[in-house]
Chains A and B, each alone.
Chain A
Amino acid sequence: MEEKKYEVVIKIFVLQLAAIIMILPFVWLVSTALKNPSEVFTENLTLLPETFRWANFVEIMDQAPFWLYMGNTIIVCVGILIIQLFLVIPAAYAFARLDFPGKDVMFLLFVIQIMLPLESIIIPNYLITKKLGLLNTRTGLILPFVASGFGTFMLRQTFKQIPQSLEDAALMDGAGHLRFIWHVLIPLSRPTIVTFSMISIATHWNDYFWPLIITDTDEVRTLTIGLGMFVQQESGSDWSLLMAATLFVCAPIIAFFLATQKTFIKNFLTSGIKG
């Protein structure tokens, strides 16, 4: 199907314009992060810094333990993901392929959770975490997120599409359910599992509200909270340092997605999320 020439031209123009508007804030972020502080205090708009001042990054490290924050963030994100997968895969398998009384009600409990994010029930969750003695711990940052209704729903859809005959054959050959899950179901559902994992990592890399509430010391703080603290400490006086810190917080996650873009986009477009 050929499109009319003028339609293509208009389309590219609109897309290009929109893309530039979307990217501009990020260009501005990178350029300010590399500017000399004095250069920021003018009303001249310059996209490129006069001199690239990498020392901004050294300076933010002196003022706040950003590497420690990053370590905590990685531990929390990976911790959440691993436990999530251990909970979600068996649950999704049960919902997709087994029959048992109360199935519909239990499935509903998982699905409704999607509509009730932690942020909306933050007060009672804080009280419970306090009762469990998990305030200001990494465990406290991880556990409330491990039961994922979204992941269960997504994987159930995928598991359902795998033909029953494969399972019958595996069971006939004497494989147990666990071996079937491990050797057949998981490899065949890889695109969905990868997509879910990437969404999970991006989501929890970004968590702000929960760590804000339950962390008190640098030892457990994550990057986003570290950034928030840094801002208060700087009180908005030095934009180039603030932007350097901001860039440090988003660079890893953007780099991760750019490095895996082929897998991510292909998987996302062909798997799971289809309404």
Chain B
Amino acid sequence: MREKLEQFRAYLFLIPGLFFLMLFTYLPILWSSWLSFNRWNLLSPKPKFAGWENFIELWHHDVFWLIMKNTFFFVSISIFPTMFLALVFAIMIDERLKGRVYYIYSFFYPTLIPMAAAAMLWVYIYSPNLGILNILLAKLGLPKLGWLGSSATSLWALIIMTFWKNLGFFMLIYLAGLQNVNRELYEAAYIDGAGWWRRHISITFPLVGPTSLFVLVTAIILTFRVFDQIHLMTEGGPGNSSNVIVYYIFENGFKFFDWGRATSLTTILVCILLTLTLIIFGIFGKRITYTAD
């Protein structure tokens, strides 16, 4: 009887959260998976079942492959160098430094700025004639760059500003993780004559494994969903050179009104994200439950 009461109470506590979780996460996924097998665009204004047609069309569409390439390029280049530097800076700041808060905030404040505002600021920084970067390049006697306006540099320009935006956030998470590292370990290494790099490569890097996992997951979420800066800075251009999957979904849905294709792309994105989740939790799952409990 007591047990039944407790179960009843648990469900009562969970129902509100589950309701909204279903309404805005799982129902949308199911609905959009169904729609992705339908033709639904300006020529066919009501969804009509079409089997795999949307996916087959995408498969034969060059732009789709360019966008997948851009997405994976953007994600991997944005994640790993940022994580590495975030860890290095976190270690430096962690070592009982004077002015710790000053350093933390000078790295962390870009995370707080809305991406829309950061994007505007960087449009100005990258502006071809009045932007600080090209003025500095000219002062150094180097050729000016097209930055956002050139298909060779547009994606890189977005990567650089995203690096600036995320570095401090990852660093702060690492800093939190470092609080658990036992300082006595360093003393021993220090007595053994290990230098700064040596101490951290052999002690800190292995110990922050679980934190790195958390940072990795956060980074994957942040970079796969990238949209704001692309919408405000390049609109995916020039010539789709900086277009990525979420922006492409937006274009198909709200510019070309091809809802069938937009939902197929959504299905593909959801599959990629779920696969990554499975891989990450499959490989590291044991470790997570170990540190979590």
Residues of A within 8 A of B (CB): 1, 3-4, 7, 11, 14-15, 18-20, 22-23, 25-26, 28-29, 32, 40-41, 43, 45, 86-88, 90-91, 93-94, 98-101, 103, 106, 109-110, 112-128, 143-147, 149, 152, 157, 160, 177, 202, 205-206, 208-209, 212-213, 223-225, 227-228, 231, 236, 239, 242-243, 245-247, 249-250, 253-254, 257-258, 261, 265, 268-270, 273-275
**B24's contact among A120, A128, A258, A268, by CB below 8 Å, is which?**
A128
Supply 16 A–B pairs (Cβ within 8 Å), ascending by A.
A3-B196, A11-B196, A87-B17, A88-B17, A90-B13, A98-B6, A98-B10, A119-B246, A120-B270, A128-B24, A224-B115, A227-B114, A231-B232, A269-B176, A269-B179, A275-B292
* CA–CA, A8 and B217, complex, Å: 33
Closest Cβ of chain B: how far from A148's Cβ, in Å? Answer: 8
* CA–CA, A11 and B183, complex, Å: 19
Q: Do A254 and B109 contact each other (CB < 8 Å), given the known contacts A22-B164, A227-B116, A246-B120?
A: yes
B66 located at the interface, meaning its Cβ lies under 8 Å from any Cβ of chain A in the complex: no
Residues in B whose Cβ lies below 8 Å from that of A14: 92
Closest Cβ of chain B: how far from A142's Cβ, in Å? Answer: 11
**A124's contact among B29, B164, B213, by CB below 8 Å, is which?**
B29
* CA–CA, A3 and B114, complex, Å: 39
Additional A-B contact list (8), CB under 8 Å, known A1-B187, A43-B135: A15-B92, A20-B106, A91-B13, A115-B274, A115-B276, A120-B266, A124-B28, A270-B179
Residues in A whose Cβ lies below 8 Å from that of B246: 119-120, 122, 209
Closest to A108 in B: B281
Residues in A whose Cβ lies below 8 Å from that of B121: 25-26, 28-29, 243, 246
Residues in A whose Cβ lies below 8 Å from that of B23: 128, 143
Closest to A275 in B: B210
Closest to A86 in B: B16
Closest to B191 in A: A1
Instruction: Compute the total of residue contacts between A and B using a CB distance below 8 Å.
Output: 285
Q: Do A275 and B213 contact each other (CB < 8 Å), given the known contacts A202-B112, A231-B232, A246-B117?
A: yes
Stretch of B53-61, B96-104, B151-159 lying at the A interface: B96-104
Closest to A176 in B: B9
* CA–CA, A254 and B176, complex, Å: 21
Closest Cβ of chain B: how far from A52's Cβ, in Å? Answer: 19
**B125's contact among A18, A28, A118, A273, by CB below 8 Å, is which?**
A28
Closest to B93 in A: A15
Closest Cβ of chain A: how far from B147's Cβ, in Å? Answer: 14
Q: What's the dominant secondary structure at chain B's contact region? A: helix
A22 touches B270 (CB 8 A): no
A119 touches B117 (CB 8 A): no
Closest Cβ of chain A: how far from B235's Cβ, in Å? Answer: 12
* CA–CA, A249 and B106, complex, Å: 19
* CA–CA, A145 and B20, complex, Å: 9
- B contacts with A, residue count (CB < 8 A): 109
B20 touches A121 (CB 8 A): no
Closest to B180 in A: A274
B20 touches A94 (CB 8 A): no
Residues in A whose Cβ lies below 8 Å from that of B269: 120
* CA–CA, A147 and B186, complex, Å: 42
Top 7 closest pairs, chain A to chain B, by CB: A275-B210, A124-B28, A147-B20, A90-B13, A124-B32, A119-B225, A224-B116
Residues in B whose Cβ lies below 8 Å from that of A116: 25, 29, 270, 273-274
B89 touches A7 (CB 8 A): no
* CA–CA, A28 and B164, complex, Å: 15
* CA–CA, A160 and B138, complex, Å: 58
Residues in B whose Cβ lies below 8 Å from that of A254: 109, 112-113
A228 touches B20 (CB 8 A): no
Q: Do A1 and B190 contact each other (CB < 8 Å), given the known contacts A110-B21, A121-B266, A265-B104?
A: yes
Residues in B whose Cβ lies below 8 Å from that of A40: 130
**B227's contact among A4, A32, A119, A247, by CB below 8 Å, is which?**
A119
A25 touches B214 (CB 8 A): no
Residues in A whose Cβ lies below 8 Å from that of B234: none
Q: Do A93 and B132 contact each other (CB < 8 Å), given the known contacts A112-B274, A121-B25?
A: no
B24 touches A273 (CB 8 A): no
Residues in A whose Cβ lies below 8 Å from that of B168: 22
Residues in A whose Cβ lies below 8 Å from that of B103: 15, 19
